[in-house]
Structure 1
Amino acid sequence: MKRFEWRDTIQALDAEADCERIVRILGAHEFPWDFEQALGLALYRTYAVPSIGELLAHTREFTERTQHRYDDTALILNDIMEHGFGPGRGRDALRRMNQMHRSYDIGNDDYRYVLSTFVVMPVRWLNDWGYGWRRLTDHEIAAGTNYYRKLGRHMGIKDIPGTYEEFRDLLDSYEREHFAYTEGGRAVSDSTLGLMADFYPAWQRPLVRPFTKALLDDRLIKAFGYPEPSAAWRRLGSGALKLRARVVRLMPPREKPRWARESANVRSYPEGYEPSRIGTFPQGCPVPHGMLTREVAPTGARVPAPGQAVAPAGSAPGAVDGPEAPGPAGAAETPGQ
């Protein structure tokens, strides 16, 4: 198999009709490690939105059961990507995700923002920041956009942007307007960085936090209240990832798919799992709705509600639905191709 054969295969597919297959090739063959990092960073960014960071902190799932939440997120998104939106394991994972979301008071604007991070961050990681062994083509970017538009429709999200450029503008404007420091967002961020450090051997862990923070943009650093990374760490972080990209470019193409469920970092279900039985099973919304308008530091300005109207608990987007099943309560791997 030739190095660019997967790219050529994708180019012959339709960016809309075949978007699921294209994203599957990109995520499991061409850029499995890069997609894992970019999508992990996408979710991490959302903690800096007060309505999201505070909600996650109040559930205490992301601060006290961080490994479980990391695993559940990776596995659910993996099953949707691997098996698609049709009946079967992919739809079971989608239904489980919607059931969890519907238990919380989440506005449509926050859903749209989170969806935009999934669309935009892989492109920024691979193309804008130069961390990919090759750039995504416009055709591949369009397919990725169509895939997440499809996911958004299955989640019942309204007013989904139509193009990559619209998603990018949404992400940037939403972050400019909403990013702010909160104790909850900072706590969730600290717990996530701690989990990432645990993925590495003990002697490497003191380096993981400064290395990771060096990859965060100034807007995110400020929102979490972290000290500005030094120029040396910035150069080291960016340089190391670009060097890795050059090495990967010389490697043969990945013929066997690599799925997130196969990652050594996913540790919560050594005996296997069913998508319908992972995640959280809260009874009603466990977070007081008034917390979305609490004051936040450093400015003391009140946080605007994450949408023009907030749906009552239990009526958040969730187009794919099913009965709740009893079950247990429920980003960085060693760089490689």
Structure 2
Amino acid sequence: MLLRRRRASLLARLHPLRHSHTIHAHLAFVDFPFLVRTSLELGLFRTYAIHSISHILSRAGHFAANPSKRYDDNDILAKEMILHHIDGPRGSLALRRLNFIHSQYKISNADFLYVLSIFIIMPMEWISMYGYRDLTEVEKNTIFTLWHDIGTRMGIRNIPSSIQDIASYKQSYESKYMVYNDTNKEIAELTLGLLLGGVLVVLRPVVCRLIFAFMDDRLRKAMGYPKQPAWLSSCGQIA
């Protein structure tokens, strides 16, 4: 615990712009690796409750053939961009690869901006709820600055200029567009199949109910899953 506090103190002295990759790398891979990775994986799952996103994945057909590919691609490319400066050889290569993948689909700027908001806001929320300490303002600004820069280089327009504004955008976008559609359910089912692959068959119904219980009402309804008993839902919401 003493080493953690000392490391947090040292990071707090770094400049959020000049050392954004160093600070973010420590958060993502040293201080909170499980929380950051899990929040982003669940964040991607959350995007499937937006019809315009699930429709693209459904129509392309690649997701059904290999549902783990999107998670693997995002995991690898995000690591490269965080660990290696996006102006450096590896970081810039990862960014070009990301842009190439997206160029194959007709994705709206609004959807790009929503996914960007997920990458900024959800790790902050998870660390706030489950981390051993709160993020400092420097760390929060670093997360925002790094992903804002990545979003700009992806060609995303009208990115909000503050954490509060992009959090508001996320909430507003979900309230308007996170509604049920058959393709939401289709992509969610494929993802659940991936998640349950390592679970004993006899336990899968129980695990499914736990997953449904952990969803907030808006997400659950947008994916067409049943409401769970209050006692089960009270265990906590993680998506």
TM-score, with length taken from structure 1? 0.66
Correspondences of 1:211-230 after superposition (within 5 Å):
211-230=210-229
Deviation at 1:116, TM superposition (A): 0.6
Contact 1:113 1:171 in 2 (8 A): yes
Structure 1 alignment gaps of length 5 or more: 242-330, 332-337
Report the equivalent of 1:149: 148
Which structure would you say has the larger RCO, counting Cα contacts within 8 Å and 6 or more residues apart?
Answer: 1
Deviation at 1:44, TM superposition (A): 1.3
Query: Could you say what secondary structure the match of 1:208 adopts?
Result: helix
Alpha-carbon separation, structure 2, partners of 1:217 and 1:20:
32
Q: 1:17 to 1:200 in 2, by over 3 A?
A: farther
Deviation at 1:112, TM superposition (A): 0.8
Query: Could you say what secondary structure the match of 2:18 adopts?
Result: coil
Computing the radius of gyration from Cα coordinates, the structure with the larger value is: 1
Deviation at 1:15, TM superposition (A): 1.7
Deviation at 1:35, TM superposition (A): 0.5
Report the equivalent of 2:174: 175
Alpha-carbon separation, structure 2, partners of 1:11 and 1:234:
37
Report the equivalent of 2:125: 124
Structure with the bigger percentage of helix? 2
State the number of aligned residues: 238
Contact 2:49 2:180 in 1 (8 A): yes
Give the letter aligned to residue 90 of structure 1. G
The one-character-per-residue Cα deviations of 1:106-158 (angstroms, maximum 9, x if unpaired) are 1111111110111111122221xx22222222221111111110110110111
- RMSD across aligned positions (CA): 2.0
Report the equivalent of 2:190: 191
Q: Does 1:231 pair with 2:230?
A: yes
Contact 2:51 2:177 in 1 (8 A): yes
Contact 1:24 1:81 in 2 (8 A): yes
Contact 1:212 1:237 in 2 (8 A): no
Deviation at 1:222, TM superposition (A): 1.1
Contact 1:61 1:69 in 2 (8 A): no
Q: Does 1:208 pair with 2:207?
A: yes
Deviation at 1:168, TM superposition (A): 0.4
Query: Could you say what secondary structure the match of 1:39 adopts?
Result: helix
Correspondences of 1:61-72 after superposition (within 5 Å):
61-72=62-73
The one-character-per-residue Cα deviations of 1:59-85 (angstroms, maximum 9, x if unpaired) are 122222112232122111121112220
Contact 2:4 2:31 in 1 (8 A): no
Report the equivalent of 1:100: 101
Deviation at 1:199, TM superposition (A): 4.3
Contact 2:86 2:92 in 1 (8 A): yes
Report the equivalent of 1:323: none
Give the letter aligned to residue 45 of structure 1. R
Correspondences of 1:322-337 after superposition (within 5 Å):
none
Report the equivalent of 1:45: 46
Alpha-carbon separation, structure 1, partners of 2:137 and 2:206:
36
